[in-house]
Structure 1
Amino acid sequence: LSIGIQSAVEKELALLGRIHTFSQAKQAVSWAREAGFTNLSVDLMSAIPGQTLVSYEHSLQEILALKPQHISSYSLIIEEGTPFFERYKGNPPVDEETDRKMYEMTQQMLADRGYARYEISNYARPGYESRHNTKYWTGEDYLGVGLGASSKIGKFRLKNETDMTVYLEKLGNKEAVTFVEENLSEEDEKIEFFILGMRCMSGVSLKKYKERFGEDASVRYGKTIQKICDMGLAAREEDRLFLTAKGIDVSNLVFEMFFV
């Protein structure tokens, strides 16, 4: 069960447009455990406008006190021209140095508490890695059930209706509530093999690439793979290609190199 807490600071939650308080989030965690859930994941967000290193550390400590099995930690990115940009305009953005310190604090504190980083933004206690997310990163099929749920079956990304009224009306009329959101080309799948798979600390299997696409990865991506390895952004171990610590820090730059 995943609970989107995001922050333990009320004004930060309000700024994010969340309708819950942190005390309500803690109550939700308590109720979930009482209901029998033994595998809980929570979300934590950094770089919220107005957030300080002190307030972020407070949120991190409060999240850890809940003792979830899994933590997803994301840095908020606000792009100009979006509704989020308009909402946050007037609130001081977090500078790069502070954002970096938050990132490093997250890694250190979670590691100290026994959480292993298994993906760029995800940490888990041993054996509690997200099976759904892992399927997404490795390009496997997954089925989403319910309002607004997403699925992937073969080359198709599917989406369920997001409007509750429409969703219920269609169900009542025995109409499909799922539509095709994207039809992936083989080119899309090849790129995603790397840019999603390499988000995982274990990286990707070049042998699996060949089995899946019928060609060696070097045919299309040989120069890219060599370049990122030469730059110290990635490394190879047997048939696996994975990001180095340096590469993780600039992962978006690395992934852009696969669009050749």
Structure 2
Amino acid sequence: MADPWQECMDYAVTLARQAGEVVHDALKNEVNVILKSSPVDLVTATDQKVEKMLISSIKEKYPSHRNLAAGEKGVLTDNPTWIIDPIDGTTKFVHRFPFVAVSIGFVVNKKIEFGVVYSCVEDKRYTARKRKGAFYNGQKLQVSQEGRFILQFLVQLILTILSNTEKLSCIPIHGIQSVGTAATNMCIVASGGAEAFYEMGIHCWDIAVAAIIVTEAGGVLMDVTGGPFDLMSRRIIAASCTALAERIAKEIQVAPFQ
């Protein structure tokens, strides 16, 4: 049976590279920053330019599909929906920290069908298609097997950073690191560069695309409370194995994020 969404994925790969070139070029110039709700809630002219380019291109090619862009309030329906983050890591982009990415995902019946994360400065392309595996620049990805034996975490801490770091320090950890955006950090887990990542207060467009890359690479997703992962819950553990994800949830013992 033909894959009904493969053409969409191929188009997403093309769009991600085109958008990434715009973001990469913009890093060389003055960044026009627009404050939104607070000094840490930022958007740039490049965000807006890339978002407009992506949405208009998708609407022209697939007029019946929905779009859910970063910053938009909305709910997922059963209709084919593109989830877009034109610059994943806007704050890093503003400070010219090079780990920024373009993320494009596709959801049908509220399930992620494919995802593309393009780390444009590094020229790294992560892709995944449901039941067809995850890839980095065309090479198949596999999560690390070390999580079952030696634990090394890639952790992005948003809330109660000190207390949660202390809680996790009771586990034998090689290191706690955060160098990229939520999407690129999750892709590092998928590639075996780290065994786990967790974050709270995150939005669906920050993690939806990379979520399928983690699972297709053999990893697992879990709510930070230990329950099933919910794309709209704004919290996530991404890990190389279930036992490791459960251990993180047990140690941090957080209340549900509101």
Q: TM-score, normalised by structure 1?
A: 0.30
Structure (1 or 2) with the greater helix fraction: 1
**Greater RCO structure (CA 8 Å; 6+ sep):** 2
